[in-house]
Structure 1
């Protein structure tokens, strides 16, 4: 779950070693900036080992991705047709609902990322 202001975006992590390592870092708060006009990005407080992840060079809207050279996480909301250079991004998850609200949240937004509480029936 990504929480910002009075809004939230529901997300699902991929089932990969890097995503499990990311989940172990949660909850965390990250200041995201929109500098490319296609994603909100910000630096994680700790390095994330990406062994076991598959490089992605063409992110799609909704992708939550990690850029290993800079330690940045990004949430893509638009596809401008730009390819990401090597070593590529590592996909951590996907936003399933609320992406439009995050895209419209301004050029700087503080996002709290946490695991959604499990519900029982």
Structure 2
């Protein structure tokens, strides 16, 4: 699923992977969440409810520029650095945004994630 990540008025393109946890997140869109820096490698916001871990590996190792879910804290995560492999972590998608600019965002930054607009049969955006 194509998504848009809006950070400080800048629209970044992204996508969610095709697995049950990412589908569950997609059903929650649009989201507007306040992100905090964690460990100088990621921005994290707590989701209102937990996502299931059905159909995904028990641990994963996301890369910079990816979107993840960390089950123990119900955290939606935007990675700008390498975090290694952790249990309860699910890679859910990727986004294109200046990772240094993401790193430099202050705590408390609100980020919106929405389904990307797609053209309908007449060519107009929906």
TM-score (norm 1): 0.85
Q: 1:5, CA displacement in angstroms?
A: 1.8
Larger Rg: 2
**Count of aligned residue pairs for this structure pair:** 117
Q: 1:91, CA displacement in angstroms?
A: 1.0
Contact 2:41 2:80 in 1 (8 A): yes
Structure number with higher relative contact order (C-alpha < 8 Å, ≥ 6 residues apart): 1
- Aligned-residue Cα RMSD (Å) equals 1.7
User: Any unmatched runs of 5+ in structure 1?
Assistant: none
TM-score (norm 2): 0.82
Q: Which residue of 1 aligns with 2:51?
A: 48
Q: Once the two structures are superposed, what CA deviation does each residue of 1:51-105 show, in whole Å capped at 9, x if it has no partner?
A: 01224432210111101111011110112xx43442x31111011x214333332
User: Any unmatched runs of 5+ in structure 2?
Assistant: none
In 2, Cα distance between the equivalents of 1:105 and 1:85? 24
Contact 2:57 2:90 in 1 (8 A): yes
